[in-house]
A and B are shown apart, each in its own frame.
Chain A
């Protein structure tokens, strides 16, 4: 666990706002939470200084009052850094990370369609994965959304 502990130590010393917010879940799995305001500097640091070069996935979450997005980054030696950013459901706005990872576009479109998260900085493009005629205010993966009877219609 030396490698994971070194990573946690480095992040803690660099970013005081991470105090108490990082945990090592197991070998090669580090989870941390960050406020949206601090997300960008942490993300850039992880990419440029800590060699997390692969964006494995982006997971949208509905946590009741807040929505969240976990950015799953991976390094070449198999360590994953899972950064969770949360933001209020009333105003779910995040910045695109396609500047760092062009491939993130499809993951961000998924967040828009399924959770109703607004991604600033993403240009026009096709919806994914829902149809164009899917109602604009229905977000299937939110907790309060239930497949209505006749949803097959």
Chain B
């Protein structure tokens, strides 16, 4: 049995960041970022290996917990892949229900992001507002699937639960209420000069860079790259639904905010179509326990971008290989580019703008000041405070804004 000393990694002044796999090592000249190194691996739990040791049905539940925010994305992507290999035709009603839950997930994820972005720039009232609205979606999801998160609605061959007329009414009511609130957020984003000033020109990613660096999701769409799996490579019920792919040409964090807010409006549109055109029929078909040999690539437009699963079956009841490429991994290269030649104070919101799906709490920044060769460590919470203060000195102050909106909030 080992004792903890065998695993001590040398912590020296040279490489303090080696201990923190989710860490950024930033080379600074004054306050400008000259280069960023990103260290990941924090959440590596060995899911792909574990998938090979469990059956396909068990894997749906495991894969769902790759990420707690886009759990349905992973579960559906996986189930679709397996059904593809087995040559199973999923009933149309089930595909519509998967779409419904997928769009509800997108709503909760974007509202979550809105709150987090607000928090990162110092606009905490936005966090409180948007997360309160998010609870409406969580309640709907709990009503439909039995859980607020990690819904477990998917099974191989369809979905596990059906929806009744009463639930449909509830969903539509909630969507109406959320649409009003979203219009309100769009108003804030387009008219509050403090918000616009703070988010514009930050985290710039040109269209060429977005394509070259393989950015996906709202991060890419805010740079004018029209990539959306729902339209380009339709799955579930998307081939039968009319919706717009939202792009923006600001190329910055402001653009990413606009894209996500407008996508919320599209979500409401899609949900209404799904519910008014919901076909009759069974919600699942039987799938054999042993999946015949074969392979496939399954793609899904998660709230953060393209989620890709490669699955290989070998005729047994356990998969041969499961590969999961979550959207944040595709966007992380773009973050390095966005931070180059920018100020340290912009780091929190730029990183938050790609909507990263690793823990929000423990991110460590190690700074190397190029002129003095001094190294220091800055915990995320300190960087957050530094960023807000830095911008406040330059006229972007959210304290008054927080008070102003809080008045409406309390009424």
Contacts and interface: CB of A to CB of B under 8 A. Distances in A.
Interface of A: 25-26, 28-29, 31, 53-57, 59-61, 70, 72, 74, 76-78, 80, 82, 101-103, 105-107, 114, 125-133, 140-141, 147, 150, 153
Interface of B: 1-2, 7, 9, 18, 21, 37-41, 44, 46, 48-49, 84, 211-214, 216, 226-227, 229, 232-234, 294-297, 299, 306, 308, 310, 312, 321, 323, 325, 329-330, 332-334
Contacts of A128: 39-41
Contacts of B21: 129, 131
Nearest to A126: B39
Contacts of B310: 57, 59, 70, 72, 82
A137 B332 CA distance: 28
Contacts of B7: 133
A9 to B, nearest CB: 21
A82 B309 CA distance: 12
Contacts of A150: 1
Contacts of A141: 48-49
A28 B80 CA distance: 14
Contacts of B333: 102-103, 105-106
A25 to B, nearest CB: 6
Contacts of B1: 150, 153
Given A126-B37, A127-B41, A53 B49 contact: no
A53 B213 CA distance: 10
24 contacts: A25-B294, A29-B296, A56-B330, A59-B323, A60-B323, A74-B299, A78-B229, A78-B234, A82-B297, A101-B214, A103-B214, A103-B333, A105-B333, A106-B329, A106-B332, A106-B333, A126-B37, A126-B39, A127-B41, A128-B41, A129-B21, A133-B9, A141-B49, A150-B1
B235 to A, nearest CB: 10
Given A59-B321, A61-B312, A153-B1, 18 more contacts: A56-B306, A56-B325, A56-B330, A57-B308, A74-B233, A74-B299, A80-B297, A80-B299, A106-B333, A114-B48, A126-B38, A129-B21, A131-B21, A132-B9, A132-B18, A133-B9, A147-B46, A153-B2
A147 B216 CA distance: 34
Contacts of A125: 37
A131 B45 CA distance: 12
Nearest to A105: B333
A59 B227 CA distance: 22
A25 B21 CA distance: 38
Contacts of A101: 212, 214
Contacts of B297: 29, 56, 72, 80, 82
Contact of A57 (B227, B232, B295, B323): B323
B321 A103 contact: no
4 closest A-B pairs by beta carbon, nearest first, are: A78-B233, A129-B41, A78-B232, A57-B325
